[in-house]
């Protein structure tokens, strides 16, 4: 069963920032490929909401958050969780970021 994907505003911003960074520092084609890879990964998550690694974050409001690698962009991560309405995408981040601090 395919679940609905719901993006939080921070995840939208993250996605745009990552694509802009790739377009500026790599090439426009990399940014386009990144968007396609995120879409493909989200398609997998929509059908398999338990995909990825369960993260144990300090913030008690973030129970059940999973981390999934963006297919083809292994340093980019999607943080999401299953909710009643579908799958909530919280953030789309580069793996070099301080995840604990971002999820406080």
The residue extents of the domains of the chain are: 5-102
Label residue 67 by pLDDT band (50, 70, 90): very high
Helix H or strand E segment including 65: none
Q: With 0-12 CB in 10 A as exposed, 13-18 as middle and 19+ as buried, what is 69?
A: middle
Pair 31, 22: CB distance under 8 Å = yes
5-102 CATH, one of 3.40.50.970, 1.10.1370.30, 3.40.50.720, 3.30.2310.20: 3.30.2310.20
Pair 78, 35: CB distance under 8 Å = no
Pair 88, 12: CB distance under 8 Å = no
How much is the pTM?
0.89
- Biggest alpha carbon distance in the chain? 39
The span from the CA of 22 to the CA of 28, in Å, is: 7
The half-sphere exposure of 1 on its side-chain side, counting CA atoms within 13 A, is: 6
Label residue 100 by pLDDT band (50, 70, 90): low
Tokens standing for residue 101: 């601090």
pLDDT (tens digit, 9 = 90+) per residue, 28-41?
Answer: 999 999 999 999 99
Label residue 103 by pLDDT band (50, 70, 90): low
């Amino acid at each position: 069963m395919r679940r609905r994907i719901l993006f939080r505003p921070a995840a939208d911003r993250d996605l745009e920032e990552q694509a802009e960074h790739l377009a500026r520092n790599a090439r426009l084609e990399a940014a386009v490929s990144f968007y396609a890879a995120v879409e493909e990964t989200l398609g997998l998550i929509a059908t398999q909401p338990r995909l990825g690694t369960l993260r144990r974050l300090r913030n008690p409001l973030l129970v059940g958050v999973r981390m999934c690698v963006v297919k083809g962009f292994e340093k980019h991560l999607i943080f999401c969780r299953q909710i009643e309405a579908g799958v909530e995408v919280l953030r789309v981040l580069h793996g070099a970021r301080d995840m604990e601090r971002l999820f406080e």
